[in-house]
């Protein structure tokens, strides 16, 4: 399975959110999108999940143009936006059951699957508590569970480690690495260490432009294995253009 992004441009007013961006993303490992706030990561993800349309360019899932045929990706997609919406008066189990029904997952299968996800994300003990009582990190994990419902073939997560403590970040990385063996998994973050630990390939973005795409190891080796230095050097070079 492959997502092929060709010459995608998106503007808001006179500002380029994406500027003639081309990128290929395949299954078989986590693909990391990194860049500072305003780099264009969230805009790209919104186009990939068909919440936005580019002004120019194409996006294909294998041979299908998802701009013209958005359902081709929607039916195999799990998406965690940067600000995931929840219903505070529901429990996590009730909320996930509602989302599962919206996804067309049968009730019996949904109960089993939801309990498994809650266990994976260390939320089982709180599954009967209202979401209004959850901490920020707990709400984030509920959002992650929503994205994983049905174990979709394409998983796109925008800043999923926000609010998570180090142990939860580690557990999430391990889970996504396992899922990525047979799926497309795209992880957007400004925390470069998350990419170093989990991703096999990455794209570095700045001001809507692609500065680098390739494997993580080669990128780090450009600065003697120091991925943080490689990232900062590339960003500063891009800003100097």
pLDDT at 216 over 80: yes
The mean pLDDT value for 3-13 works out to: 95
Kindly list the domain boundaries of the chain, sorted by start residue.
1-76+154-241, 84-152
pLDDT at 221: 86
pLDDT at 18 over 70: yes
Whether the CB-CB separation of 235 and 36 falls below 8 Å is answered with yes
Could you tell me where the DSSP H helices lie in the chain? 41-48, 71-74, 92-102, 107-120, 136-148, 166-179, 192-198, 216-221, 227-239
pLDDT at 225 over 90: no
- Cβ contacts of residue 140 below 8 Å, gap of 6+? 84, 160, 162, 163, 164
Say which range, 1-15, 153-167, 219-233, has the weakest mean pLDDT: 219-233
pLDDT at 240 over 80: no
pLDDT at 195: 86
Class of the CATH domain delimited by 1-76+154-241: alpha beta
- Across the chain, mean pLDDT equals 92
């Amino acid at each position: 399975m492959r997502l092929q992004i060709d010459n995608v441009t998106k503007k808001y007013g006179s500002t380029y959110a994406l500027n003639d961006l081309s990128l290929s993303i395949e299954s078989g490992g986590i693909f990391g999108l990194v860049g500072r706030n305003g780099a264009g990561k969230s805009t790209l993800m919104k186009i990939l999940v068909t919440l936005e349309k580019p002004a120019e360019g194409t996006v294909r899932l294998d041979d299908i143009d998802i701009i013209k045929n958005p359902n081709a990706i929607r039916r195999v997609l799990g998406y965690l936006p940067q600000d995931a919406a929840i219903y505070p008066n529901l429990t996590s189990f009730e909320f996930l059951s509602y989302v599962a029904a919206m996804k067309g997952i049968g009730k019996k299968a949904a109960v089993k699957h939801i309990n498994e996800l809650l266990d994976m994300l260390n939320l089982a003990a709180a599954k009967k508590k209202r979401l209004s009582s959850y901490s920020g990190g707990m709400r984030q994990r509920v959002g992650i569970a929503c994205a994983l419902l049905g174990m979709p073939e394409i998983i796109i997560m925008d800043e999923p480690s926000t609010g998570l403590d180090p142990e939860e970040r580690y557990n999430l990385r391990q889970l996504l690495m396992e899922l990525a063996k047979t799926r497309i998994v795209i992880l957007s973050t400004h925390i470069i260490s998350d990419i170093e630990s989990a991703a096999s390939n990455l794209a570095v973005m700045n001001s809507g432009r692609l500065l680098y795409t390739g494997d993580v190891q080669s990128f780090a080796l450009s600065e003697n294995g120091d991925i943080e230095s490689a990232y900062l050097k590339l960003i500063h070079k891009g800003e100097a253009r």
